[in-house]
Amino acid sequence: MPDRLSVGDTAPDFTLPDADGNDVALADLRGKNVIVYFYPAAMTPGCTKQACDFRDSLDSLQAAGYAVLGISPDKPAKLAKFRERDGVTFPLLSDPDKEVLTAYGAFGEKTMYGKKVTGVIRSTFVVDPDGKIALAQYNVKATGHVAKLRRDLGL
52: annotated active-site residue: no
d(CA 26, CA 16): 9
Residues 6+ apart with CB under 8 A from 141: 122
CA distances from 9 to 5, 34, 38, 61, 149 (A): 6, 15, 18, 23, 19
- Count, residues in the chain: 155
d(CA 82, CA 55): 12
* Nearest CA among 81, 108, 104, 102 for reference residue 92: 81
Catalytic-labelled residue, pool 11, 24, 42, 47: 47
Catalytic residues: 47
